[in-house]
Amino acid sequence: MSFEKFLAHVRSKSLARQNRFEVIIPFGDSQLTSLMCHSVSIPSQFAVTDTNNMFGISRDHVWMKNVNQVVMRFYMDTDLKVKKTFDDWLKLIQNPNNGILEYYSKYTRDVTVKVLDINDKVRNEITMYEAYPRNVEGDTLNARANGIAELVVTFNFRYYINKK
């Protein structure tokens, strides 16, 4: 590809900006959760391989495809509302009083990441199907720090689709 072709493509399509996105998590106060999300990893996939060494030179072969977990980071307010949302979701997965696990279909949700351009137009939409929080990790409060506390949530999901 020539530099002129690259430049023409960038001028016509623009480049994705890291700070132009929106997440849709249909659980609890989804509007607040969306506003407080300041970082999200884009879903990715990988091939799981095994080495076959029957005769001659060994060779890796793919035996399944899998997806990586997605990590989202949220600002926390003083009421910890976003943390409470994810704590409630985890309580739905397993009842803390009796330890009974809920059915998979009851606690999974379809979570969407929208990639926006500089005019807030949706340029791509990635939906992760059958998603649920696997790990909810709160920030450390520290008397000598002056930053904003954040919550890190790791999601498992079954598969994802780019809709645009």
User: How does residue 53 score in pLDDT terms, banded at 50, 70 and 90?
Assistant: confident
| pLDDT digit string, tens, across residues 56-85 | 788 888 888 888 999 999 999 999 999 999
- Is the pLDDT at 10 greater than 80? The verdict is no
Average pLDDT of the chain, as a whole number: 91
CB atoms within 10 A of CB 131: 24
* Average pLDDT rounded to a whole number, residues 143-158: 92
pTM: 0.84
Question: Is pLDDT at 120 greater than 80 in this prediction?
Answer: yes
List helix spans (H) across the chain: 3-13, 30-36, 81-93, 104-107
